[in-house]
Amino acid sequence: MLWACIVLPQLALDAVLRRLPDPGAPLALASGPTQLRTLHAVNAGAAQAGLRAGMRLAAAHALLPTLATVEHDPQAEARWQQFLAAWAYRHSSLVSAQWASCIVLEVRASFHLLGPWPRIEARLREELAALGFAHRIAMAPTPRAARVLAGLQDGLAVSNPAAMQALLDRVPVRRAVLPGDTGERLQRMGIRDLRTLRELPRESLRRRFGAELLPHLDRLYGDADDALSYYAPPDHFDARIELGHEVESHTALLFPLRRLIGDLCTCLSIRDGGVQRFVLRLEHDVHRHDTRAHTDVEVGLLAAEREPAMLFEVTRNRLERVSIPKPVVALRLLARELPAFVPASRDLFDVRAQQALPWPQLRERLRARLGDDAVHRIAPTGDPRPERAWRRVDGDDARIDTAPARPPRPTWLLPKPVPLRDPRLRILSGPERLESGWWDGEDARRDYYVLETAQGQRAWAFTPAGERDGWMLHGWFA
Amino acid sequence: MQAVASLDSLLAAQTLWHAGRHPATTRDGEPTGHAALDALLPQRGWPRRALTELLLPADGVGELALLMPTLARLSREGGTLALVAPPYLPYAPAWQAAGIDLGALQVIETTPRDALWAFEQCLRSGACAAVVGWPRQADAQALRRLQVAADSGDCLGFVLRDRKHAANPSPAALRLEHDSDGWRVRKCRGGPAPTRAFAPGLH
C-alpha cells in the first residue's frame, strides 16, 4: 500500500479565510482569556506587517490597527478536518483523520482509476487550492512515514520501502513526529536521527520512553501493521459559517451561502447522493433579550438534486422572500436526509436550446418564487360530483387514472358555483341528473344543463333537481 | 465592425422583404389540428418559436377547443405543457377526454404580479413544448419579452387576453380575435392577414 499524507499547516486559519470575500486583508485568530488575548494564527497579510502567532493582541493592534480578529474555535478545526476527510474520500476508500491537522489516504488502489501518483497529486493540490486550504503533500509506503515526510518537504514521494527506510534513517528525531515530547528528549540526550535511535537496545528504550515509542517506530518503518481508524462518511450534512459581523441584508449573505451550497454539493457528490430537503438557519445574536435565536429557511425540492448552481439559485430565491428580523451572525445549513440521486437520462443526440433547463429544475425555480404549492398536475377521480371528480397531483410518481365515461364535461371548472344571471340563456342539452354524496354529508341533487349565453359562451350550469330557474354556473366549455 | 450578411440569408430569415412581392413563406408551422385554420395561416399552422395571441370577448368561447388538438398531440409526443395562471380550474376529466396526457400537463398558479415572470421562465427554459398563459397585466413590452423568450426556448407560446387589447399593437407573431363569425386573423407574420374568419364548428 502507498499512503499519501496531506498536512494542513493552517487549517483553522484557512477555514476562516475561505469564507471571506477578501482573504488577503490582514486577519488573525485570537485565543485565550479576555485579559490575556494572544494571536493563535495570522494570515499572510498580517505576517507581512510583522505579526506572529503567540503575540499579545494589544501589541498586534499597536502594530497594525486595521487588523481584523476572529475568535479561534478548536472544535471548528476538528469539523473542518472531518470535512476534508469527506473530500479525500472521493479519491480513496481508506481515509483517516485520526492525527490532528492532517489527512492520510491510501492511494495505490486509486492508481488504476485516477492515473499515476504525479497526476493524483496534481489533482489533490488543485482541488485543495480551489477549496482554499494551504497544504503539504507527501507519499510513502506507510502512513506514519508519509506524515513525517510531509512535515519535512512538500511534494516528497517514495514508493520503495527500502528507499523509505534509508530516507527515514536520516530524519532528525525532533522532526520525526514521535509521540509526546520524546523527540525533544532524545535530541537533548544527543540522539540526532532515527537510525541512531533504532540502533539503541529496545528494552531500555521501552523503559525510558514508555510503551508507545517502539510500536510507533515499527509502524513508521513498516515492520508492524498500522491499524488506523478510518473515516466513514456521515449520513447527514451540517455546516455552519460564522459571519464575524452582523448582517442585515440579503446580498451580504449570498457569498457565504454559495460556499455552504458548494460544500453541500461536494459532500453529495462524494456520497453519490442528492438532497431533497434542507434547512438554511440564520442565527441571530442570542445575547439580546429576544425569544427567537434563529430564523429557518426551509428548502424542499420535489426530487433529489445536487447541481450547485441550481441549489444555490433555489435557496437564494427562498432566502430573498424571507424578511430578516434581526441581524444575522451565522449561517448554518442542515440536511438530515440525503437520498440517492438519479440523474435525469438525456438523449445523446438531444438538440435542445443552449441554455435549456430540464423541467425538474424549472419546476424548482418556479416553486422557490411562487410557493411550494404553485406547481401541480391534475388527475381525474371516480367521484361523480364534479367538484370531487378531480384531484391535485404533487410530485412526480403518482399514477394518473382514466376518468370513467360520462357525458361531456367542461374544460373549465369554477372553484365554486356562482349564480348565472342572463335573460337570453338557450338550453343546448340536458338535463343530466346527478344525485350523490349522501354518505359523506355533502349530498348533491342537481340537474346539469349545457347552456349558451348571449355572448356565445357555452356554460355548464345546474339547478336544484326538477327545477328550471336559479341557474348556478359550474363550468365553461372553453 | 459589423459582420457582412448575405442578401439571401436576410431574405430567408424574413428580416428583409422584396417590395410588392409575396415572400416565399416557409410552411413549417405547427399543425393546429384544424385543416381550415391551417389553410388560412401563411405558415400552415401555429408559428414555431413564437407567441400566438388569442383575443377573447369572454372566457369560454371555445379558446381551449381551438388549442386542444395541438396540446393533445404535443403531450402524447412527450412534451411538457404548462398552464400559467389559468382563470379557472382546468377540469381533469374533460382535458383527459380531449386527448391530453395529464402526466405532461403542469398547472402553475401565480399571483397576477408573478404571472409574467413564470410565463417567461417557462417559455425561456426550453423544458416545455407549449405554454398557455393568462397574464392580466401584459403591455407591449412584456409581450415582447415573452416573444423573445419563446424564440430562445424553442417553444409555442399562447397568450389569452381580453378583446379590448385588440387595438393595441402587439409583438406576437400571430393574433387571432374571436368575434361573432368565429376566429379572425388580426395579424400574422409572413403574409397579409386573411379576411375570412375561421369557425371551428362549420368545417
**pLDDT confidence of A142, banded at 50, 70, 90?**
very high
Identify the band that residue B160 occupies on the pLDDT scale cut at 50, 70 and 90: very high
| Contact between chains at A475 and B106 (C-beta distance less than 8 A) | no
Report yes or no: A390 at the B interface, CB cutoff 8 Å.
yes
**HEC-encoded secondary structure of chain B:** CCCCCCHHHHHHCCCCCCCCCCCCCCCCCECCCCHHHHHHCCCCCECCCCEEEEEECCCCCCHHHHHHHHHHHHHHCCCEEEEECCCCEECHHHHHHCCCCHHHEEEECCCHHHHHHHHHHHHHHCCEEEEEECCCCCCHHHHHHHHHHHHHHCCEEEEEEEHHHHHCCCCCCEEEEEECCEEEEEEECCCCCCCCEECHHHC
Tens of pLDDT, residue by residue over A168-188, are: 999 998 888 888 888 888 889
Mutation target to probe the B interface, by most B beta carbons within 10 A, among A411, A422, A474, A476 is: A411
Q: Find the range with the poorest average confidence among A351-355, B12-16, B141-145.
A: A351-355
User: Is the pLDDT score of A411 beyond 50?
Assistant: yes
Supply the CATH classification number for the domain B33-190.
Answer: 3.40.50.300
Q: How is chain A split into domains, by residue range? A: 3-25+66-221, 237-335, 408-476
Q: Do B102 and A380 touch (CB under 8 A)?
A: yes
Which DSSP letter does residue A230 get? B
CB contact under 8 A, A377 and B103: yes
Does residue A441 carry a pLDDT above 90? Answer: no
* H-helix or E-strand spanning residue A187: helix A182-189
Contact B152 A355 (CB under 8 A): yes
φ, ψ for residue A470, nearest 5 deg? 75, 50
- Residue from the list A374, A380, A477 with its beta carbon closest to the beta carbon of B92: A380
Mean pLDDT for all residues in chain A: 85
A289 band by pLDDT with thresholds 50, 70 and 90: low
Query: What is the pTM for the complete model shown?
Result: 0.59
Range scoring the smallest mean pLDDT among A39-48, A113-122, B13-22, B49-58: B13-22
Helix or strand or coil: residue A305? strand
Q: Which of B124, B125, B158, B162 to mutate to test the interface with A (most CBs of A within 10 A)?
A: B125
Looking at residue B202, what is its pLDDT?
47
| Confidence bin at A287 (pLDDT 50/70/90) | low
> Using CA atoms, how far apart are residues B101 and B99, in angstroms rounded to an integer?
6
pLDDT tens, residue by residue, A24-51: 788 888 888 888 888 888 888 888 888 8
What three-state secondary structure class fits B73?
helix
- Please report the beta strands in A154-274, taking only residues with DSSP state E, as ranges in sequence order: 237-247
Query: pLDDT-based confidence at B55, cuts 50/70/90?
Result: very high
- Mean pLDDT, rounded, for A131-146: 91
Residues 335-364 of A with CB under 8 A from B: 352-353, 355-359, 361-363
More confident site: B187 or A355: B187
SS3 A150: helix
When pLDDT is cut at 50, 70 and 90, the band that residue A141 belongs to is very high
Sign, CA torsion A303/A308/A312/A313: negative
Rounded percentage of chain A residues whose pLDDT exceeds 90 = 14
Nearest to A353 among B68, B87, B154 (CB): B154
Q: Which of A369, A377, A390 sits opposite B114 (nearest CB)?
A: A369
Interface of A with B in 94-133 (CB under 8 A): none
Q: Report pLDDT for A242.
A: 85
Residue A238 pLDDT exceeds 50: yes
Intra-chain end-to-end CA distance of chain B, in Å: 54
Residue B203 pLDDT: 44
Nearest alpha carbon to residue A93 among A265, A220, A270, A227: A270
Domain A3-25+66-221 CATH assignment equals 3.40.50.620 = no
Cβ of residue B107 closer than 8 Å to a chain A Cβ: yes
Q: Minimum mean pLDDT among A133-147, A233-247, B10-24: which range?
A: B10-24
A474 touches chain B (CB under 8 A): no
| Minimum Cα–Cα distance from A410: chain B residue | B94
pLDDT of A343 over the 80 cut: no
- Tell me which CATH code domain A237-335 carries: 3.30.1490.100
Q: What ipTM did this prediction achieve?
A: 0.84
Amino acid B20: pLDDT: 63
- How near does any CA of chain A get to the CA of B165, in Å? 18
- What is the structure's pLDDT at B106? 93
For residue B1, the model assigns a pLDDT of 47
pLDDT confidence of residue A284 = 85
Residue A13, C-alpha cell as written in the block? 486559519
Query: Which of A302, A350, A362 has the most B C-beta neighbours within 10 Å, making it the best mutation to test the interface with B?
Result: A362
Provide the number of CB pairs (under 8 Å) joining chain A to chain B. 155
Nearest by Cα to A269 from A343, A369, A169, A350: A343
| Lowest mean pLDDT across A244-248, A280-284, B71-75, B152-156 | A244-248
How distant is the alpha carbon of residue A129 from its chain centre?
19
